[in-house]
Amino acid sequence: MEKFNLYITYEENSRGGEICEGGEDDSFPDHEPTYREYKWLTARKENIDDKYGSLYQETVEIDFDPAKRKYVYLIVVVYTTGDTFGHTCGENYLEGAYKTRKESEKIKKEIDDCTYKKYSPWSGYFEALEEVKIIKLEIGQ
């Protein structure tokens, strides 16, 4: 089966993460929670050259020709991560891109049911699953 690349662009913003009050002079201070927000923007057949550096881009390998599809369905896993000194809520992991909603719903169910067998950064000592999103994007040039 032929493989294709799809280029997914997004914006990412963070807030929080400041040193907790009273810990300013500590060698290893605790931090307030950090909150991340992602906005998934475009799915493109061609790599973009973001000369201003305002967008992030993920490359996803797919097993269908994006030139023959109008939409793609992303699986985005939202999770909390951290360490001894603080944590981050709203971290996003782009699991993959699928040609039908039905395919993406199958993967979402596996993640929700903890039967998913691939790389899963939301499973760990400091990690916790928040939600699994299916995001429909139009495929552009």
Least confident of 17-21, 34-38, 85-89, 101-105: 17-21
Confidence of residue 108 (pLDDT cuts 50, 70, 90): very high
3-state helix/strand/coil string of 14-64: EEECCECCCCCCCCCCCECCEEEEEEEEEEECCCCCCCCCCCEEEEEEECC
Tell how far CA 66 is from the center of its chain. Answer: 20
- 131 — pLDDT class (breaks 50, 70, 90): very high
Site of tokens 């294709």:
4
- Residue 67 carries which side chain, given as an amino acid letter? A
| Mean pLDDT estimate for the chain | 91
What φ, ψ does residue 107 adopt, rounded to 5°?
Answer: -65, -40
Question: What is the amino acid identity at position 13?
Answer: N
* pTM score, whole prediction: 0.88
Q: Each residue of 31-50: pLDDT tens digit?
A: 888 999 999 999 999 887 66
Q: How many residues does the chain have?
A: 141
What's the whole-number mean pLDDT along residues 16-31? 84
Name the pLDDT band for 53 (thresholds 50, 70, 90): low
Domain boundaries, the chain: 4-15+30-140
Residue 60 Cα to chain centre, angstroms: 12
Distance CA 105, CA 113 (A): 12
Which has the closest alpha carbon to 79: 44, 51, 116, 43? 116
Q: What is the band of 29 on the pLDDT scale with cuts at 50, 70, 90?
A: confident
- Identify the bridge partners of residue 12 per DSSP, sorted by sequence position: 38
Longest C-alpha distance within the chain, in Å? 59
pLDDT at residue number 50: 62
- Whole-angstrom Cα distance, residue 76 to residue 11? 14
For residue range 3-21, what is the model confidence (pLDDT) as tens digits? 999 999 999 999 998 888 8
Please determine, for residue 118, whether its predicted confidence score (pLDDT) is greater than 60: yes
